[in-house]
Structure 1
Amino acid sequence: MMRSHRTAGQVPRSRRRLVGVALAMSLTVASAGCTAPTPPDSGTSTRPGASPRPVEPDDATLTTFAYGPRPAQAADLILPAALAGAFEERRTPSDVAPAPPPDGGGQVVDVVVLVHGGGWDASYDRFSETAVARDLTDDGVVVWNLDYRGVGAPDPADDGGWPGTFEDVAAGLDLLPEALGSVGLTPGRVAVVGHSAGGTLALWLAARHTLPDGAPGASPVVRPDLVVTQAGVNDLVAAGAASGNRGAVEALMGGTTSEVSDDRYDLASPTARLPLGVPTLVLTGDLDAVVLPSVATDYAAAAQAAGDDATLAVVPGDDHLSPQNPRSASWATVRGWLADRGISPSAPAT
């Protein structure tokens, strides 16, 4: 069971509580990169330095940090039970979180950053990653579950697309050291794992160091050590040129490749940023009818040709939603790949 924590005075959008149960999922295959919504619940977001409330020692703790003023500009830091208990012991009597060490020190922990899918649509959020987040924290891995503004929000201030969606995930990733520092931790190896539309964003986060000065997301604070795209739309240029219909990619980018006059597709598309210089797992299920397996195989071939350490995994019998199921072969492949490359559970400081 994961416990979320609230801070008074901040009222974000309707949230969905992170719980340790499998999600019941449905899918309308209307656009590339879809996930299933979860039932609504209420919650709040906190800024770095806010302390979580006490929890039972056996529970993981979830604290939400805001990287911007809008409700979707938030991420959940989820500490496994052992680390959560150690943090509780370090809390001050005044219920104020300990300040980060002045030299940036603190216990070093590996972190898996989760980036949700949903066709970049504003009606989807990070809670589609509930089950796999719990699987990671159950095994002692720290999770940073990242949200962002999507396309089609009722309030224009909550609307994403180019460049807002990309700027959001960049800012959310760059907040990670500060969030960890607020509980006396320091990031070690950082792996970014994205599903569907989030797979695209995960690759782009790994490519930020290749962006020219002044481009959205350039000059990253955090550079991922590993990246996983699960059924991602890995080539926005090809997807944006494939049809004149205004599908999910066109909505994200503000038009097809022939309709926009600037270089946004070249700045945003992972294939256009190759080589990334980051070890990459490119995963797909051979039954995926939403983002076809050829999207993964084409990207892996292009990445390998560009000199990247890219591993292709085509999982027999799995479909588009399989990576969201911690009991699936797809998720087992991701976990194994991360473990083989050094993403390790975190032990409490002694």
Structure 2
Amino acid sequence: MMHYGAHPDQHLQFFDPGQSTAAGAVMIIHGGYWREKYTAELGVPLAQDLAARGIPAYNLEYRRGPGSAAEMLADARLALGLVKEEGPITLIGHSAGAQLACVLAANDSRVTQVISQAGLLDLDYARKLALSDSAVDLLLDGAPLATYNPVELWPMPARVVIFHGRDDADVPSRIARRAVQKAAALGQDYRFAMFQGDHYTWIDPRSSQWAACVRALSPLHY
């Protein structure tokens, strides 16, 4: 485990594939509506699976909680600086982790691709829906929404792969569909697919949804 700051949550786990068969690296960013009770343990099975496939994998922990939008971005940028591999970097973000992944990609040119798993890609719409007890308002706590809203940061150089489940009750699929419309209108390089399944099938390494995420790493990484 590597620490990139003094706070206990400022750490990055590296899962060494041993004999790497892939170019670059992948960073997992967990979700949880930016609340502290959801931790990087959610990303461990995915990072382990990637390493078993010969892909250097990093699992990010970062500061969360009310008013933490700026801290999260700062943490993600510091952690990305610890990625030692040359070549493409893909960020795989689940739910709120996809929001942070997109904001990081818009602020750091090292990121080549973002894979959004049931992502909160339109914070303005999520706020209007008051998702998860108005979690967006808690996150921002007065910070400018446009600075941290993925769809307002497009187009950006990194490609965005937007994957979502039809049965998602935590982040409704219309969030993804609106994001796709905005990506197309803004000229953002993107790919979109809707799957069966709920909000959590994406973080099960045995699922077909996770298999689709792995496939999306080609041809960038292998």
Fold match (TM-score > 0.5):
yes
For 2:111, the equivalent position in structure 1 comes to 224
Check conservation: 2:33, 2:132, Cα contact below 8 A: no
Deviations 1:225-271 (A, max 9, x none): 111111111011222244499621111111xxxxx3x6x21111001
**Cα distance change of structure 1 residues 244 and 130 upon mapping to structure 2, 3 Å threshold:** closer
CA distance in 2, matches of 1:196, 1:244: 12
Where does 1:58-77 land on structure 2 (aligned, <5 Å)?
64-77=1-14
Deviations 1:19-54 (A, max 9, x none): xxxxxxxxxxxxxxxxxxxxxxxxxxxxxxxxxxxx
Check conservation: 2:155, 2:189, Cα contact below 8 A: no
CA distance in 2, matches of 1:288, 1:244: 12
CA RMSD, aligned part only?
1.9
**Cα distance change of structure 1 residues 268 and 226 upon mapping to structure 2, 3 Å threshold:** same
CA distance in 2, matches of 1:162, 1:80: 32
CA distance in 2, matches of 1:295, 1:287: 13
Where does 1:281-300 land on structure 2 (aligned, <5 Å)?
281-300=161-180
CA distance in 2, matches of 1:302, 1:248: 22
For 1:169, the equivalent position in structure 2 comes to 76
Q: Which one-letter code corresponds to 2:17 in the other structure?
A: P
CA distance in 1, matches of 2:114, 2:6: 28
Q: Find out whether 1:207 has 2:106 as its counterpart.
A: yes
1:111 pairs with 3, 8, 25, which one?
25
For 1:240, the equivalent position in structure 2 comes to 127
CA distance in 2, matches of 1:67, 1:241: 35
3-state SS in 2 of match to 1:187: coil
CA distance in 2, matches of 1:297, 1:328: 22
3-state SS in 1 of match to 2:216: helix
Check conservation: 1:66, 1:75, Cα contact below 8 A: yes
CA distance in 1, matches of 2:129, 2:49: 37
3-state SS in 2 of match to 1:194: strand
2:52 pairs with 132, 138, 148, which one?
138
Q: Which one-letter code corresponds to 2:220 in the other structure?
A: G
Check conservation: 1:146, 1:173, Cα contact below 8 A: no
Worse overlay, 140-149 or 238-247: 238-247
CA distance in 1, matches of 2:153, 2:70: 16
Q: Post-superposition shift, 1:174?
A: 2.4
CA distance in 1, matches of 2:203, 2:131: 31
3-state SS in 2 of match to 1:149: coil
Q: Which one-letter code corresponds to 2:27 in the other structure?
A: V
Q: Post-superposition shift, 1:109?
A: 4.1
For 2:156, the equivalent position in structure 1 comes to 276
Deviations 1:270-298 (A, max 9, x none): 01111122211101111111101111111
Check conservation: 1:315, 1:329, Cα contact below 8 A: no
Where does 1:168-187 land on structure 2 (aligned, <5 Å)?
168-176=75-83, 180=84, 186-187=85-86
Aligned residues: 221
Where does 1:1-350 land on structure 2 (aligned, <5 Å)?
64-82=1-19, 109-151=23-65, 161-176=68-83, 180=84, 186-208=85-107, 220=108, 223-243=110-130, 247-254=134-141, 260=142, 264-316=144-196, 318-339=197-218, 341-344=219-222
Over the matched positions of the two proteins, sequence identity in percent amounts to 29
Worse overlay, 272-281 or 243-252: 243-252
Q: Which one-letter code corresponds to 2:183 in the other structure?
A: A
CA distance in 1, matches of 2:132, 2:210: 33
Structure 1: gaps (5+ residues): 1-63, 84-107, 153-159, 181-185, 209-219, 255-259, 345-350
Q: Which has the higher contact order (CA 8 A, sep 6+)?
A: 2
3-state SS in 2 of match to 1:294: helix
CA distance in 1, matches of 2:125, 2:39: 26
Worse overlay, 190-199 or 229-238: 229-238
For 1:216, the equivalent position in structure 2 comes to none
Structure 2: gaps (5+ residues): none
TM-score norm. by structure 2 comes to 0.92
- Which structure: larger Rg? 1
CA distance in 2, matches of 1:82, 1:314: 34
